[in-house]
Amino acid sequence: MKKWVFLLVIIASGIIQVNMPDYFKIFGVKPNLLLIAVVAAATHYRLRWVLFFSIISGIFMDAFSARYFALNTALFIFWGVAIYKLSRKIDIDNNFRRFVLIMVVVLLHNIISAVALLYLGNSIPLGIILRIIFFECLYTAFILPLLSILTRFIPSLSF
């Protein structure tokens, strides 16, 4: 996929994620489309483009997030580089491996974000934290196969 098209995909993912209607939410949780974009970039582009797309995705997520500013940007850069290096050692072209990878990345991302929020003094009930951590992880992982089916119809968007 061309880099400018992927940049448009990131922008569209961010807009969809921010403006997602309530009837797409499951237990009040939305999928993390920008993190899916970072994973896709890390498996398909060179490191400098992975960094660029990770920074853009992280800034977009931080701009519309109530979380600590720059936390998502830093984490997205970390996930982008880590997945880039992992994809050079392990074949991630299998749909099941992508499913597991995105599930683990979203799970760890949410755990780190929750710990950072608690460390900064935010009081969040344990039930809400656990619901966000686990349901967002599952929801995002189950959205990934749907996105890969949709992108087959548009050749320039294939992941």
Q: For the chain, what is the mean pLDDT?
A: 84
Range of weakest confidence among 3-12, 20-29, 111-120, 128-137: 20-29
| Predicted pLDDT at 157 | 46
pLDDT digits (tens, 9 = 90+) for 77-92: 999 999 999 988 888 8
pLDDT at 105: 93
127-144 mean pLDDT: 85
Residue 97 to residue 59: CA distance in whole angstroms:
27
Segment 128-135 shows an average pLDDT of: 85
Is residue 120 scored above 90 in pLDDT?
no
Would you say 144 and 99 are in contact if contact means Cβ atoms under 8 Å apart?
A: yes
Going along the chain from its start, the domains and CATH numbers come out as: 3-157 (1.10.1760)
Contact 125, 80 (CB under 8 A): no
Q: Which tops the pLDDT comparison, 21 or 106?
A: 106
CB 70 within 8 A of CB 62: yes
If you ran DSSP here, which 8-state letter would residue 30 be given?
-
Q: What is the pLDDT of residue 57?
A: 92
Res 38: pLDDT? 92
Mean local confidence (pLDDT), 125-144: 85
Taking the CA atoms of residue 17, residue 88, residue 94 and residue 141 in that order, the dihedral angle to the nearest 10 degrees is: -30
Q: State yes or no: pLDDT of 154 exceeds 50.
A: no
- Is the pLDDT reported for residue 1 higher than 70? no
Q: Predicted confidence band at 148 (pLDDT cuts at 50, 70, 90)?
A: low
pLDDT attached to residue 86? 92
Q: Give 62's contacts (C-beta < 8 A, 6+ positions apart).
A: 69, 70, 71, 72, 73
